[in-house]
Structure 1
Amino acid sequence: MIYLNRIVTGILLQFANKNRISALRLGYVRKAVNIGFLLMGFIFTCFLFGLGYQQVFIFMSSFLAVLGIALVAQWSILSNITAGVIIFFAFPYRIGDRIKVVDKDDDISGKIVEIALFHVLIRRDDGSTVTYPNSIILQKAVIQLNGSKSTEVEAFSEDKC
């Protein structure tokens, strides 16, 4: 398991270096991968101690049922973590890029300050910071702005909203 974890970590590091992904974002994904390996190691250890498939899976299903009931109200947390992993691999924008999230209720445009496991921090031009959930930013249209405000992009988004 340890060797497999090192191989996967090496692949993640190569991917992060190739795509210029920040160390903070890489740390979040590495934690999620480590938790997965920890769970697999626990199951493997149970089998080594002679527990049968039925006993291990009854324990795991009971644990997951209790966890599911505890997190049913926190479903958005799980979706934000999943979206955070998807953003790590597929989000076309990086920290420092100026973006505009097309939202009819509010003007969310500015510079990406941080991309975390649960949210993206966007600093507006007036200095305020918007915390935008990962699951929502994947559902909305995001427009990349050039250095200064682009009136053409703003006119396009105001016409569509």
Structure 2
Amino acid sequence: MLSAVPRRVLLSGRRSIQQVRFGSHAAHDAHHAPAVPESFGKGFYMSIAAFTGLCAFYKFTVSDEKEPLVTRIINKYHSQSALWEARNTVHTKMVEEAAHDRLLFEESPIPKSRPYAYPEALNQGSPWNITAGWATGDLTAVKAHMEAERARLDALRQGN
């Protein structure tokens, strides 16, 4: 009679007996990792200690006759606003004088000794790779010499 029962039924019967005897998850408990006790970690405790230390430091730095430390630090930098205002005034005056001088320079008539119509002409263009004749002296004599040399070389090439 045992041979008439399919093998699958026997296996399912064995599993149900194990479940009754060892509980429903007895066969699966071997696959799970063991439970690890979890804690908050060092960072949590360090931040709590730092906060407590800062509160204690603030409490002990406050005295009856003085303001709190943070207020004193703020007032130290806040009181320099008069100094900053004086510096800004001097700086503004210097920039205005420089602008006035520049306008005088640009609006003045161009003398023969100054070949540039505006001062920014000194800064425009690259100092390298300048084509011949640009922003330099008179090159007509050089041009005439080069044309004479070219004519002489052309005559030599033709056999004259």
Shorter-chain TM range is: under 0.3
TM-score w.r.t. the length of structure 2 is 0.20
Q: Report which structure shows greater RCO (CA 8 Å, sep ≥6).
A: 1
Larger radius of gyration: 2
By percentage of residues, which structure has more strand?
A: 1
